[in-house]
Structure 1
Amino acid sequence: MKSLPDIQELEAFETLIKSFDFMLCIDLEATCDELMESENPRALVVSPDEMETIEIGVAVIDLRRMETVDMFQRYVRPVLHPTLTDFCINLTSIRQADVDAAQSFPKVATEFTAFLQKYPNAVWGSWGDYDADQLAADALRANCTPILCGVQHLDIERSYREIFACPSIGLWAAVEALGLNWSGQYHRGIDDAKNLADMVVLLLARSRKIL
């Protein structure tokens, strides 16, 4: 990874979002399973196409003030596999009690849509395209309107790779590479969203030559 950003790519990143007033940095956590090194071969309890969102984390950036101004976090109760795997609990630190007490995806989607009304002219961003694909799959499974339908999506990981001419990199590593200190728990929706927002603000600050 280059230590200095490509100025043209950095300016291109700002150009992508300069017409918007807000950016919603979003991170999802989902049901999942994976074989541990110590385990004997077995079928996965949750296959990749059965993953369901169990946490939605959102950090809202005011793109004029260049700061995070609001948060949204909800757990979501899974339907296909209501019992979290040990792998999922260890990865996310989300507890079974958290999802048992949560609302269904359609109800959380309604709450989030109401929250979104406070932030017109917004773009939303995520680290990679997984979150957009997962939200579409959740909506299809629940037979409801996709969250963020009609709101433009920005793959921030792709922009990061172009700015620093680097291969795919995890969010934690990308944040630390910029000189920021990771805050909170990795693989928690709200914490990942907050750190993603901090990254975006820093990149914009560099583009606008504030830093």
Structure 2
Amino acid sequence: MRKNQKIHRNRWYEISLADGSTKIVKGQQSIPAARKKYKNQIRAIRRISLERWNQYQESMYGKYLAFLDLEYNTGEEPGIPTEIISVGIVVADRKNLKKKETYYSLVHPRINTTLNPYCMELTGLKQKEIDHARSFAEVFAEVEEFYRKWGIRQTYVYGNADSPVLRNNAELNEIPDKVTYLTDGIKDIAEELFLSLFDREGSISLEKLGRVLDIRLDGEWHNALYDAELLWRCHSAVIHKEIPENLLTQAKNELALKEIYMQNRRFDEVKSGFPEEKKAVTEEIIQELRKAAAPKSMKETAKLLALCDDILVLTGERPRYQKEYTELI
């Protein structure tokens, strides 16, 4: 995406209608749709400031917003539901993004009550902790009170999984209408943050985003409150332009290399049956190839890495050379 396209996408416009009301849209690409929707009703269209946009957001969604993360226990067998086992929330002032309060709770699953080994390793949670946790209905009744306390009408999440999982869990626990206060206001900001940083569409994991922005927190990944705090910090850093330029430049270069690398990879499925003695010889050939090629540009380097990893895959080994060049992404 070109730089000027990105700039126009991040501008805001106020549309004055014949009945005296106003509508606010984001980005020039929204104006044709608005002209069609309000045909013969538009009196004027004018660009507005970030301050005016923030005032509009506050009037629509309240003074405070929430950053939410959920952790789940996935089913290992077909038909076993994915159930929420913990919830973390950070409440921040919409205007200055200062943190106001946090919320964290474990959740006892209704059906899939035994944590699978992968889930325990990922989250650091123990089975006995989940066994003594409160039910989904109890926890989210408390979350609802927490939201009412702060007048929360908009919730930021990272990725598109939390909203459907939350809805499915509400249905599973027979209280689908009890979480509409939360699900109706959920907004996935993963692509928005990516666009703001890299001037193009796409996304990376929250963990990688934290590395690019050089944000370090006490705690462990995949704790629901830790991830909610990290999302809040990343969003705040982007909004306040607290972005380490050296790391951002490195990340952009790594993304470009990875893109060329992926375009030139030909084999994904690791083969089997290749003799072990020939694997060692193949490894030597790969190293000789890398020395002889001596790429002089990022494009040539990416193509060479793709070729070397394809050779590994054909011999029954997993690809690994591209990872040598990507510390952040």
Q: TM-score category by the smaller chain?
A: 0.7 to 0.9
Aligned sequence identity (%): 21
Are positions 1:203 and 2:238 aligned together?
Answer: yes
Which segments of 5 or more consecutive residues in structure 2 lack a partner in the other structure? Answer: 1-5, 12-25, 28-49, 243-329
Q: Which has the larger radius of gyration?
A: 2
Would the aligned equivalents of 2:217 and 2:230 in 1 still touch at CA under 8 Å? yes
Structure with the largest fraction of helix: 2
**Structure 1: gaps spanning 5 or more residues:** 1-5, 34-43
Distance 1:107 1:90, change over 3 A: same
In structure 2, the residue matched to 1:76 is 107
1:60–1:8 CA distance, 2 compared to 1 (3 A): farther
1:157 matches 2:190: yes
Aligned CA RMSD, in angstroms, stands at 2.7
Determine the structure 2 residue equivalent to 1:177: 212
TM-superposed deviation, 1:154: 1.3
If asked which structure has higher relative contact order (CA below 8 Å, sep 6+), I would say 1
Q: Across the two proteins, how many residue pairs are aligned to each other?
A: 193
2:229 and 2:120 map into 1 onto residues whose CA distance is 21
d(CA) in 2 for partners of 1:91 and 1:170?
15
Instruction: Name the residue aligned to 2:68.
Output: 26
Q: Deviations over 1:48-70 (max 9, x none)?
A: 86100000000111112321111
**CA–CA distance in 2 between the matches of 1:48 and 1:170?**
28
Matched, 1:62 2:97: no
- What is the TM-score normalised by the length of structure 2? 0.53
**CA contact 1:172–1:182 (8 Å) conserved in 2:** no
Structure 1 residue 122: Cα displacement: 3.2
AA aligned opposite 2:193:
Y
Distance 1:99 1:21 in 2: 34
Distance 1:179 1:122 in 2: 30
Kept in 1, the 8 Å contact 2:191–2:202? The answer is no
Aligned-pair CA distance for 1:174: 0.9
Cα distance change on mapping 1:28 and 1:76 into 2, 3 Å:
same
Question: For 1:146 and 1:9, how far apart are their aligned partners in 2?
Answer: 35
Aligned counterparts of 1:7 and 1:180: Cα–Cα separation in 2: 26
Q: Provide Cα deviations, 1:23-76, integer angstroms capped at 9, x if missing partner.
A: 21000001026xxxxxxxxxx24x586100000000111112321111011100
Deviation at 1:153, TM superposition (A): 1.8
Output aligned runs, 1:32-51, within 5 Å.
32=74, 44-45=76-77, 47=78, 50-51=81-82
C-alpha deviation, 1:9, in angstroms = 4.9
CA–CA separation in structure 1 for the residues paired with 2:228 and 2:10: 21
Matched, 1:123 2:118: no
